[in-house]
Amino acid sequence: MNKKHIVLAALLSVTSVVVSAKTDTAKLSLHRNDIKVWTYQTENNPVFQYKAETTFDVPLERAVAVVLDVERAPKWVPYVGKAQLLSRDEKKGEFILYMVLDFPFPLKDRDVVIKGKMSKNADGSISIKNQAIKYDYPEQPDIIRLSRYEGDWTFQKVAENRVKVSTSGYADPAGAIPLSFVNMFVQQQPYQMLMKMKKEVHHPLYKQPKLPDLLK
């Protein structure tokens, strides 16, 4: 597998925040340009969670290839400043990735070490599941290390050249973050990401996508 085709996975999805209220009801927070974003909480998790979905008029493989292309991630994933592969097992479809989130001043940047796994399901859909892990990677001055994060991607073929893309998850951003930024981040980041991805999937780089063997 080419180095640039590394699972970025839900790097793309560190968009949730700690709040006090708890509910099991998902709220459709945003529906625009064929993109839906829901926010919700569960009784067992105090962290605000989200789900976002849309469809692209490209083959499933092309959409997956975009998410796996770590080198271009900062071009279309809001707040991703750096993504670095630490290890991978191509046969198992597992990887460990380090990511830096570049937040606007005066907020401190965040970083996280993520373990992920990609798989092809019986129905032909492709999944990428991720979670933060403790890892022997040096913490950086003035960057807050995230310890609670989970994020998933699912790609489902709905027609010959049409794919449904869903992403969901949560993260405890740690530290003090203004409520105005929190509200914007949890709803707008998934929306902005999928809007930019709609353009990215048509980039010539992905005209003939090459996926890892276990996803074929």
The DSSP annotation for 37-100 comes to EEEEEETTEEEEEEEEEEEESS-HHHHHHHHHBGGGHHHHSTTEEEEEEEEEETTTTEEEEEEE
* DSSP assigned state of 9: G
Helix (H) or strand (E) holding 191: helix 179-200
Q: What are the backbone angles phi and psi of residue 205, rounded to the nearest 5°? A: -55, -30
Q: Pick from 13, 12, 216, 50: which is nearest to 118 by CA?
A: 216
If you search the block for the tokens 């403790």, which residue do you land on?
134
Q: Residue 80 and residue 7: Cα distance in Å, rounded? A: 14
Q: Residue 39 and residue 169: Cα distance in Å, rounded? A: 10
| Residue 79 confidence (pLDDT) | 87
| Residue 8 confidence (pLDDT) | 41
Whether 152 and 10 have beta carbons less than 8 Å apart is answered as yes
| Residue 72 confidence (pLDDT) | 83
pLDDT lower than 50: segments of the chain = 1-23
Radius of gyration of the chain (CA): 16
Three-class SS of residue 186?
Answer: helix
| Residue 47 confidence (pLDDT) | 61
Q: How far is CA 137 from the centre of its chain?
A: 21
At 121, list the tokens.
Answer: 């399901």
CATH of 9-208, one of 3.30.530.20, 1.10.287.110, 3.40.50.2300, 3.40.1160.10: 3.30.530.20
| Residue 121 confidence (pLDDT) | 95
Q: Pick from 169, 130, 131: which is nearest to 37 by CA?
A: 169
Q: Per-domain residue ranges for the chain?
A: 9-208
Q: What angle do CA 94, 96, 97 make, to 5 degrees?
A: 130
